[in-house]
Each structure stands twice: as C-alpha cells, then as structure tokens.
Structure 1
Amino acid sequence: MILLGTASCLSMIAAGGWAQEQDDGFLGTLVLGESKREIQTDTAVPVTNIDQEEINERQANTVAELIDSVPGVSLVNGSTPQGSGINIRGFGANSTFGTDQKVLILVDGATTGAEELYRIGNQLFTDPQLYKSVSVVRGTVGSFEYGSGVVGGVVQLETKDASDLTGGEPGFRFRQTLEGYSNGNGFASSSILAWQPNTQTEFLFNYTYRDQGDQKDGDGDTIGNSSFTLPSVLAKGKYSFGDNLEHAITASWNRSTSEERDVPYDSFSTTADSFGNVDRDIETQIGILRFQYQPVENDLIDLDVNLSYSEQSIKSAYVPGSSSLEGTPFFPRIRALADATHNYETTKLTIKNTSYFQTGIASHDLRAGIEFINRERLDAASAPGGTDRRISVFAVDDVQIGDQLTITPAVRYETQDIKGDDDTAAPFNESYDNNALMGGLSARYEFNSGFAIFGGGAYTESLPIIDDLGTPLYMTQPEKSRTWEAGFSYNRGDVIAEGDVVRAKVNFYETTLWDITSYVSGRPSRPLSEVVTKGVEIEASYANAGGFYVDFNSNIVTGTETSSTGVESRWRNEPSDSARLTLGKRFGETLDVSWEIFGARSGTDSRGAATAGYGVNALRATYLPQEGVFEGFEVRAGIENIFDKNYRPNLSTRNSSGRNFKLSLAKTF
C-alpha cells in the first residue's frame, strides 16, 4: 500500500511537471549534508517545523503561502491575507467561512482569529517577516497542551527576538530586507532594529510594509480582489535576571492593519456579486507578557507563565448601489451583512510547568498546566455578541522506557461558561455551561537500525461558539472527534555514501467527526450526521556531504460525509491528492540552487464542480557572498509557476497566480 501510494505520488508529480511544460540563521548559513527541512522522525506526533532559513528562502507573501509545502496543508486563496485561509486534513478554512474552529492558530502562545464570519477570511492576517519559526501539528494527537476541538491541526508562530540578530552579545544590529515580485508589482520592506544594552536585556523593533496590486493568472487574466497593502509592526523586549539568569520577563506587541476600498463583501470572490461592495478596515493586534523560571539545578521546575491578549477588528461599510438586490426584499439582509463591525478580543493566561524526573526504568518529560480564557465578541447586526469563558487543565507526559520505547499519554479537561449580550433578544441573550474531558495516547518504538514504528489515538470536543447562540441545540452539543494514527519513520546516516543522511516518515490516519454543528446540507438545512476522513502523509529526504539533497512529501486523502437522512457522499472539503519534490545542490557556503515540482490530482471543489489536475514548477537560488565588497549580503531569487500554468486548487475560489519572479536582498549591519 505504502509503495503503491508513493509510486502514485511520484507519477503524479512527474506528470504534472511534464503537463505544464507542454502547456506552455538571519546571517544566512548553508549547511552541507542537510536537506531543506529536517523531518521530525523522533516523535509520534505528525509535526513539521519551518525555520528562519526556509522562511527567508520561500519569500512568501502570507503565512499561508509559507506553510503550503507541509503535507496535509491546503490553502484557500493563499496569496492574499484577506479572503484566504488554511485547511489541514480537510478542516479549517473553506469557501463559506474563514474558519470552522478546527484549526488552532497561536502567535507566541496567543490564540488568534475570529469565529464563523460569513464569506470573510480571518485566520492569519499578519506578515511572515515578523516570525522566526512556524510549527504545524497535524491532527489531534499532539494538540492537548494547546487547546480543545483541534481536528485539523495547530499552527504555532514564534516572533523574532533581538538575540537572534545580536547572538546574545551587547550592541546594536540592524537588518534590512527588500523584496520585489513581478506578478502584481509586489514590494516588501522589512526593517529590524535589535539592541542589547547588556547580556541581560534585549529590545527589538520590526516594521514591515508589504504592497501588492492585482495579480494575473496563467492565462494573463486579472485575478480580481487580489491586491492588498499590509503594514505590520513588532515591538519586543526581554529582561533576564537572577542567579544564572534563571528568571526572564518578555513583553511584545504585534500589529497588522489593512484598508480596502470598494472591494467585494465576499472576500473569497474576485468580483462584486449580489452581496455588493464594501469599504473594509482590518486590524489584528497581539500583546504578550511572559514570565519564565528555569532553575539550573532543579529538573522539576521549568515554569512558563504567559498572559496574552489578541484582538481582531473587521469593520465594513456598504458601498451604495453595488448590489444587484438593492431595492428588493432581500436587501435588508445584504445590508446587515455588509454594514457590520466584527470585533473579537481574547485574553488568555497559561501557566505551564515542565518537569524532568525518573521513576524506576522510566524517565518523564511531564508538561502540565492550567489555562484561563476569556473571549468577547462585539454584537453586530449580522452576528450575535457575547462572552465565552473557559478554564482548562492539561497534562502531557513523554515517558521514555529504556532507549527505544516512548509512551505519551495526554489529557485535557475544559469547562465553559458562554452567554450572549444582555441587551439582545432571546435566544441570543441566553447562557450555557459545558465541559469536556479529552485525551489521547501515542507510542513510539525505535529499533537500533534507525527504523521506528508509532501509533496513537485521540478524542477531542469542540465546545460551542458565540456565533451559534441563536441555535439553542448547538449550545448544548459539543462536536466530537476521534482520530487513529499509525506509521513508521527512518533516520540514518552513511547509507549510500559517507556523510549522507536519509530520513523518512509515513503516517496513516483516520478521523471521525460526529454531533456536528459546523456543516449542514439539504433543504431545509440540517447538520451532517458524520464526517470521516482517511489519509496518508509521506515525508522523505536525502542529503549527502557533497551538497546534493532531495526533499519529497505527499498527501493522499479521501473523505465522506453523511447527511442527517443517512445519505453518504464525498466530503465537501476534501483536499486533492498532492505531492511535492525538491531537488537541490549547495555549493559550499555560498550558493544554494533548488528546483521544486508540485502536482495535484483532479478532483471536485466544495460545490461539487470538477477541478482539473495540475503541475507547477519553481526555481529558487540563495547567494551568500563570503568575501569581498558584498560579504554579508544575502541575495535570494525565485521563479514560481515557471511555465505560467493556469490552475485553481480545488479548495480555492479563484485562480492561482501565473508566473512570478521574486527577488530579495538582505543585510544585517
């Protein structure tokens, strides 16, 4: 089965590339003997980490574009911050709502994003240049220390620190990055000032400005509603004190804004429709105050207290005369959608401690904590306002038995008090109490050969959201999900030649969702009875001491949904089977050149329409001069969609961009 799946993906990617041809460390270090991305073979959790080097190289316009190379991750219109979103394993963003609450987005530990806003994308309205790493946990197994109701996965972003530039040494460092894009005449500037007055104190200020006009697809047609301007700011400071600097206090503030004028209310579409146009202002801001205590001689204490505040404000005003339904009985509903201010404020206090200890033959890495979460949603004409208060306790224990077996039990208990605004009419002003006990177990066994097997199961519940206050049944019926996973990994050096490294990880999963409130079908609309998704995620890499490397990943998935009347059909948010292959060569520490091919099978979009398969190619190069007048400069160039292929991913509502030349220049002074 695995060999057949891998062969199928390789043939898909080769066919895609051929079809297209026929269709017309901040300081920039290159490490020989390593591929682009290190596969996490040492854990049963399906997790992918994207580091600073890869962030720099991919030259992404959005965070969504940055993580679309992760197996299991699919984008909804990923090239713009508005009208786009992230879908993991068939859950998350879709063409109706910016999120279904089954993918959790964390920025420095803060929970971000809004609820089910109709036809408005809202998951990741921020700039990639603010971050030094992104981690994607797929599925439920590794989610319990982060939140409840995680069916698709968790996206964790970590902002840059001053010490990333200064190396922990006192002094000033300044980093300037300039980027340009041919498709849409895009431009980005990122300016970072880092200052360490001493070894205990550090400050960072980052201002990034990103601007893009409307892009064109592979046929040369303008992709409407694809222009944006996104200024972003990050201010961050950290102070360490005590013996061996075991105490640390960090404060940060992160803000991104956008102004859109006379754009379609439906941010997923390319032109105005019956909803008309709006003037829209979007603001996302995140504040963090964090205390860490890590005594050197006490393995039982590694305390992390994180107080976070995140706010997302989406203000829109209807543009008169822009809707074809103006003057009809339907128009008041349209006007209520268009003239609305959606505002979410989430305050969260997370107290977590990590303990390392031994019990007999077993060693423990125990992470346990408590969370207090308060989310407030401003009342709008088209959406109810209210408050969602939660208290959660969690524990995750990595139990290592000998050198080969790791068993990880995880548990989370969450209580909820959710209520509507007092001045709204019933049932929007009602209050409800819910609670849920969730958890999972995973195990991994590693053989001396570098081969390992793993498996696990997890159960979680999605507690009701403020948006559903108008439906009393939904407020007492949390959605429930169960996931089973199994797979194997391989990590070994000197396999074919001295100094080479082979890594691989294959993960099978099956997820069942029931007691559903997020998806409906039929007339009158009724919630689905069940959704079942099954898939396999494949990651593999090879690198040798001469600088040659190969990266491969693939996602093969199938899904079914069952209506309230028992009728089975294809899962409407099922992603296409896809595969990605990267071939590259590093020439010392100076040059890295790679060719990437991505292919996807034909399928069906969320509305049941057929989507064609496609293959796209990209070429990237990183040049880091090691001597001479240009020493210290970083030059990165790329060509995406080399052959100008016209295509539309099956979860997207607009065509992807055509050929795009990218160039960036950076230097740290």
Structure 2
Amino acid sequence: MPARHSVRALLLCSAALTLPVSAFAQEEAAILLAPITVESKREVQTDTALSQTIVDAEEIQDRQADTIADLIETAPGVNLINGGSPVGSGINIRGFGANGTYGTDSKVGIVVGGATKGSEELYRIGTQLYTDPSLYREAVVLRGMGGTLEYGSGYFGGLLMLEPIQAADLTGGEPGVKLRQTLQYSSNGDGLVSSTTLAWQPSEWVEFLANYTWRDTGTPEDGDGVALMDEGSELPSWLINSRVTFGDSGEHQLSLLLSETQSEELDVPFDSFSWDGTQLGNVDRAVEDRTAVLRYDYASPTSSLLNLRAELSYSDQYIDVDYISGPPLGLNDTEYRYETTKFLVKNTAYFDGAFAAHDLRTGIEVERRERVDSASSAPGGTDRRVSVFVVDDITMGALTLTPQLRYVTQDVDGTDYGYGSYDNTALMGGVSALYDLGGGFSVLGGLHYNENLPIIDDIAEATADEMMTTSEKATTIEAGFAYEGRDLFGEGDALSFKAVAYDTHVWDVTSYGERVGMTTLHFDAVDLWGVELEASYSMQNGIYVDANANIARGRTERAGNRADWAGIPNDELRLTLGRKFGEKLDLSWEAVMASDMDRSSTPSDGYVVHNLRATFRPQTGVFEGTELRVGIENLLDEVYKPHLAQRNAPGRTIKLTVAKTF
C-alpha cells in the first residue's frame, strides 16, 4: 500500500510540524459581534472544524429517551442496531460500531465522566453502555476521527462522551438545597420511570448531588402488536457527584463521581439483537455496571500555562448469563467481566505566539483493561497501554488549525488463561482546519490517520500470532462549510447550518470479512464515504426549524472483488418544526424520513415516522418549578425496521413526564 503509507506519513509529519510552529497568516482586524443564538432544539456547532453534535440537558429531558442510544440517534451519521432495549441496542457511527453480530467493533469510543466504557466483542449482546439518560447533563458525539486522539485510539467511527449531572445544574451555583422528582409513563408496554435528584450546596465552594433512578422498560410492541421482547428490563441506577473548590482564588478543585446501573432479565433469548430464542436458547441475564472517577484540577492564578488535571477512573462491567432452555451451544452459562482502570495527567496551556494564539493540551495516560476468560467467544487477558498525546488549537486571524498526535504502547497478556503475550506500538495524528470567510461563512476540513490496536477478543484465534501483532489502520479526509447569520428574512431571526463530506479508507483489516464455512476471510480494505448536514432556523416569534440529514455509502474489497458494505444505514432526513412561547410552552413535530436501502444482500424498505412533543412549564403560582411533557412517538403506528436493525421498531408510544423542582 505505498500510496496509503504516503498519506499516513504526510498526516503525521504535518501534525508534528504544525504543533510547535504557527504558519504565517494574514493579519485582519478583529470584529466583535454579539453571539448568534438559534432558539431551537439543538445548536449547530459552526465554530469548530470537528463533526460534533451536542445534546444538552434540555434536549435530554425533552427526548424522554429510554436509553442513551435512543437519545443520540438524532445526530446525523449516528444509527442504532435495535433501540429501546438497554442490552440489545447498539450504537453505529459512520458505519462503525455495532453490527449484526457484536454490540461494538471497538471503533466507536465511549467515555462516561472520564471513564472509558465497553468495547468488547460480546456475541449477540449490545453496546455495553449500561446506564440511564437521567444521569447526564450533556452528551457529545464526535463523528469521525477528528478530536478523538485526546481521548483514545482506534476510534475510526467516532466518540461518545457523557457528562454526569452536577449540583450546580439544580442550585444554579448558589448555596442551598434543591430536590427534583421526575415520573414518566410510556403507554407502549407500560414502561415506568422514577428519578429523584438531591442537590446540596452548603457554600459556593462545596457541591453534592445524589440521584436514584428506577426504570422499567415494560414490553413494547411494534405497529402490528408483536412484542419486541419476551420480558421487560428493570434498571435501578444511582449516581453520586461531589465537588470541592479551595485555595485563595479557588484554583484547586477536587471531585468524586460514583455511579452504578443494574439490569435483570429472566427467561429471555440469549440473542439480544433479534429476540429469537429458537437458535441460541433462553437465559437469565443480570448486568452490573459500576463507575468511579476521582479528579483533581488546578488552574494557576498566576500563569495561563498551567491548568492541570489529574484523573483516576475505574469501570467495572459484569454480565452473568444462566442457561434456561433451548439448544445449549456453550454460550449460555457464562460470565463476562471486564475492568478498566485509567490514570490521566493532562495540562492545558494558553499563550500567544508571534502570529497565533494557542490552546495547547498535552497529556499522558496509563490504562489497564482486564477481562476474565469466558470461553472461546470471550477469551481472558490483560491489555495494558501507555499513551502520550498533544493537541493544539492554533488561532491565526481567520484561521483555526488543530493538529493532534497520539503515541501508544500496548502489552496484551493472556498467559494466565493459556494464551500468548504480544507487544505493539502506534503513532497517530491529523490536522483539522476552520477558516472564517467573513459574512458568516466558513470552510472546514481535516486529514487524519488512526490505528486500532489488537484487542483481547482475538487472542484465542488460530491466527492469533498474526492478528495480535497487526493493527487496523485508517485515514479520513473531511471537507465542508458552515454558515451562521441573523436578521436574514426578518428582525430577530437566526440561521445556522453545517455540511461535511468525508471519505474513510481502512486497511490491514482484522475485524471484518466474509464467512466461508467455519473460516473468516478478512477484507483487504473497507471504504466508507458520505455527507452529513445539520441546520437550525428560528424566528423572533418563537417558531423554529431543525433539520439534519445523513447520506452514506460503503464498499469492501477482497482478492480484487468489490461489494457493498453491509454496515451502511438507510439515507435519512430528520426534520423538526416547532414553536416556543417564551419559557412556558414548547410544541414540536418531528418527521424521520428514510429511503429504501437496496445496496445490500438483505435490502430494507424506507419509512416515514412522525413524532409529537409538548413541554409546559408554569412560570408563576403553586405550579412554578413544575414541568409537564407529553410525547407521541411513531404517531401513525407504522411498522418499520431500520436497515441495521434485526427487529422492528416500537409502534405508537405515548410518553407522559411530570417533573417538579422543590
């Protein structure tokens, strides 16, 4: 692959050269404008070259989602492998992540409050993101490789970062005590949710928050009245988040995050994707997910060069599967457990050079991931990694340039379970750029090279010596444009939109291939490309429109033969029309339109789904602080199945939520 290696060398060299040196840029007079605010469901991130979507606290509550996967599927390029089930749903970004066999392919990263979450290839089990949407104040989705090297390696598809709720979200940063109680009912399957949050600030410098959420998913049905699961899941979750600020100027901050989510399913199919127990039998399945993050921040009061963070995180994910009935295939009585401990030290330095301003982030990360042996489908071992990364946001007039580098050393050891031991290293890098053309217009682009290091899952393969010393490699090229403006068609209106085209090439493939008998023949290469669109428009009278679209294509190659990539979703357009009446009332209609998907050996029909939402917040009187939400999902009770899913989506569902802050 001489041409591909040339691209890799170019990316790494350009990132390395750009970090310490700022190229000359034309000096322009800075024009300060008032910020443009689009009062819609979601803000389009026009000020960054990254393909980034942020779902804030208000939208998290407005969506009334049952799982994190349900919540973030609203971002372009993000799709679900079955929604509605905490165990069966999987996240797919730009064709990577969950697929029809595994809940993840380790190419979509998940970070919860600083802790790295599940990336295991567990057979017919979902994304392993066992947590509740009620625990979070923000979900950030990075699509593609841009911006991911600060958090990990191998994220060809992208990265999901979840930020837990904090006491200040309820108290507003003022001393006092606040209690928030939320109750939710879903008509389809009789789902119930209770979420209780207590926030206490004895002073402005001390915060404490505790949350307990109990969720019963019920047994939802599709539009034909066919049950989508044999038995619902009960998910009790709790979270404690505390923070203490100290020092003469508040330069020190110490925080502790603890959370746990449990799930128990009785006499359900082992296959959590299709819910068909005829082939793999039925099981009792219990899940426990624990997270702990201890963080120390120091912001020097005398130097902008020293803004230090030291963080110790721990993630423990445990799945216990007990065989009940059906054909035992050696998968049904087993335990999966994987623990990830990570220590991070990172510094952010702000400084001005001769031609540019810098936001320079450097860090070192030490990670230990251990998994117990769970038969050949999930071999045991320890994956130890040490990483060093450098990311610099360089602002030179109208140009913002962001080079990033990450170097990783890896030691995978399976000798305790009778497997081998392997060492690997990798250097990754890339550059993103945003140029302000003036008049609200900007152009953006990026060049990135990344490597997905070998995973413990392959250590038991007959070809382990080859697979455990071969990292999958990928390059991505992105190009796009963005616009934001106001007072365009009338006084007080605002418009923002962003379009990004991408092309990703993967080689040295070890994750994907064609099954011939009992042998997997890996592809020589995988190519994915597409376009993602995001737009928001709002008027002074409260009317707003949100839209996003995703068009994706993919191709595989093996022995000179090319074929369509099976992991590509339907082309999709999501349109929301709504109106806000101040802070009191928000009404909206959403349409999700997907085209036929015929570029596959198993084609899927297109569909149109309508959703209605209403939020009412009394501003005065005895009901002040109360929120009432009514949502109707799949209004017309359509029977449909997204291309990547293996079972139908839920039918008409009416959701009623009442929340009160005391």
TM-score between the two structures when normalised by the length of structure 1: 0.91
Instruction: Give the conservation status (yes or no) of the 8 Å contact 1:282–1:314.
Output: yes
2:610 aligned partner: 617
For the aligned residue pairs, the C-alpha RMSD in angstroms reads: 1.3
1:655 aligned partner: 648
State the 1:578 CA deviation: 0.3
Instruction: Give the conservation status (yes or no) of the 8 Å contact 1:32–1:546.
Output: no
Instruction: Give the conservation status (yes or no) of the 8 Å contact 1:148–1:461.
Output: yes
Is residue 600 of structure 2 the alignment partner of residue 600 of structure 1? no
Mark the CA change 1:555 to 1:53 in structure 2 (over 3 Å): closer, same or farther: same
* Alpha-carbon distance in structure 1 between the residues aligned to 2:300 and 2:569: 46
2:430 aligned partner: 440
What are the within-5 Å matches in structure 2 for residues 210-249 of structure 1? 210-225=215-230, 227-249=232-254
2:524 aligned partner: 529
* Alpha-carbon distance in structure 2 between the residues aligned to 1:268 and 1:276: 13
State the 1:628 CA deviation: 2.2
State the 1:225 CA deviation: 4.0
Is residue 511 of structure 2 the alignment partner of residue 507 of structure 1? no
Alignment partner of 2:439 out of 440, 449, 453: 449
Mark the CA change 1:341 to 1:421 in structure 2 (over 3 Å): closer, same or farther: farther
State the 1:496 CA deviation: 1.2
Instruction: Give the conservation status (yes or no) of the 8 Å contact 2:380–2:456.
Output: yes
Instruction: Give the conservation status (yes or no) of the 8 Å contact 2:231–2:265.
Output: no
Deviating above 2 A after TM superposition, structure 1's stretches of 4 or more consecutive aligned residues are none
Instruction: Give the conservation status (yes or no) of the 8 Å contact 1:33–1:546.
Output: no
Instruction: Give the conservation status (yes or no) of the 8 Å contact 2:294–2:312.
Output: yes
Instruction: Give the conservation status (yes or no) of the 8 Å contact 2:297–2:308.
Output: yes
Mark the CA change 1:211 to 1:522 in structure 2 (over 3 Å): closer, same or farther: closer
1:578 aligned partner: 572
* Alpha-carbon distance in structure 1 between the residues aligned to 2:283 and 2:596: 35
Deviations 1:262-289 (A, max 9, x none): 1111111223122111111101110000
State the 1:172 CA deviation: 1.1
What secondary structure does 1:603 align onto?
coil
Instruction: Give the conservation status (yes or no) of the 8 Å contact 2:195–2:211.
Output: yes
Mark the CA change 1:227 to 1:266 in structure 2 (over 3 Å): closer, same or farther: same
Alignment partner of 2:510 out of 509, 517, 541: 517
Alignment partner of 1:395 out of 382, 390, 393: 390
* Alpha-carbon distance in structure 2 between the residues aligned to 1:385 and 1:605: 37
1:142 aligned partner: 147
What secondary structure does 1:537 align onto?
strand
Deviations 1:293-313 (A, max 9, x none): 112332111111111000110
State the 1:33 CA deviation: 5.3
1:298 aligned partner: 303
* Alpha-carbon distance in structure 2 between the residues aligned to 1:55 and 1:506: 24
1:63 aligned partner: 68
Instruction: Give the conservation status (yes or no) of the 8 Å contact 1:605–1:651.
Output: no
1:20 aligned partner: none
One-letter code aligned to 1:346 = T
State the 1:381 CA deviation: 2.0
* Alpha-carbon distance in structure 1 between the residues aligned to 2:302 and 2:479: 38
> Of the two structures, which has the highest relative contact order with CA contacts closer than 8 Å and spacing of 6 or more?
1
State the 1:365 CA deviation: 0.6
What are the within-5 Å matches in structure 2 for residues 318-329 of structure 1? 318-319=323-324, 321-323=325-327
Identity of aligned residues (%): 52
Deviations 1:173-197 (A, max 9, x none): 1000001100010110000011112
* Alpha-carbon distance in structure 2 between the residues aligned to 1:264 and 1:667: 38
Alignment partner of 1:312 out of 317, 321, 325: 317
Is residue 115 of structure 2 the alignment partner of residue 110 of structure 1? yes
One-letter code aligned to 1:482 = T
Structure 2: gaps (5+ residues) = 1-35
State the 1:594 CA deviation: 0.5
* Alpha-carbon distance in structure 1 between the residues aligned to 2:347 and 2:51: 23
1:636 aligned partner: 629
Deviations 1:201-222 (A, max 9, x none): 1111100000022111111222
One-letter code aligned to 1:627 = T
* Alpha-carbon distance in structure 2 between the residues aligned to 1:293 and 1:545: 42
TM-score between the two structures when normalised by the length of structure 2: 0.92
Instruction: Give the conservation status (yes or no) of the 8 Å contact 1:44–1:444.
Output: yes
Alignment partner of 2:95 out of 90, 93, 96: 90
One-letter code aligned to 1:390 = R
Alignment partner of 2:413 out of 419, 424, 430: 419
Instruction: Give the conservation status (yes or no) of the 8 Å contact 1:411–1:440.
Output: yes
Is residue 284 of structure 2 the alignment partner of residue 279 of structure 1? yes
Instruction: Give the conservation status (yes or no) of the 8 Å contact 2:337–2:371.
Output: yes
Deviations 1:239-281 (A, max 9, x none): 1100121100001111000111111111112231221111111
* Alpha-carbon distance in structure 2 between the residues aligned to 1:475 and 1:368: 29
* Alpha-carbon distance in structure 2 between the residues aligned to 1:396 and 1:33: 30
Aligned length: 621
One-letter code aligned to 1:85 = G
2:371 aligned partner: 377
Instruction: Give the conservation status (yes or no) of the 8 Å contact 1:291–1:304.
Output: yes
2:13 aligned partner: none
Mark the CA change 1:553 to 1:594 in structure 2 (over 3 Å): closer, same or farther: same
1:152 aligned partner: 157
One-letter code aligned to 2:114 = G
One-letter code aligned to 2:622 = V
Structure 1: gaps (5+ residues) = 1-30, 324-330
One-letter code aligned to 1:277 = N
Is residue 335 of structure 2 the alignment partner of residue 341 of structure 1? yes
2:48 aligned partner: 43
* Alpha-carbon distance in structure 1 between the residues aligned to 2:611 and 2:366: 45
1:326 aligned partner: none
Is residue 422 of structure 2 the alignment partner of residue 465 of structure 1? no
* Alpha-carbon distance in structure 2 between the residues aligned to 1:421 and 1:322: 34
State the 1:226 CA deviation: 6.3
What are the within-5 Å matches in structure 2 for residues 115-264 of structure 1? 115-225=120-230, 227-264=232-269
* Alpha-carbon distance in structure 1 between the residues aligned to 2:215 and 2:171: 25
Mark the CA change 1:297 to 1:339 in structure 2 (over 3 Å): closer, same or farther: same
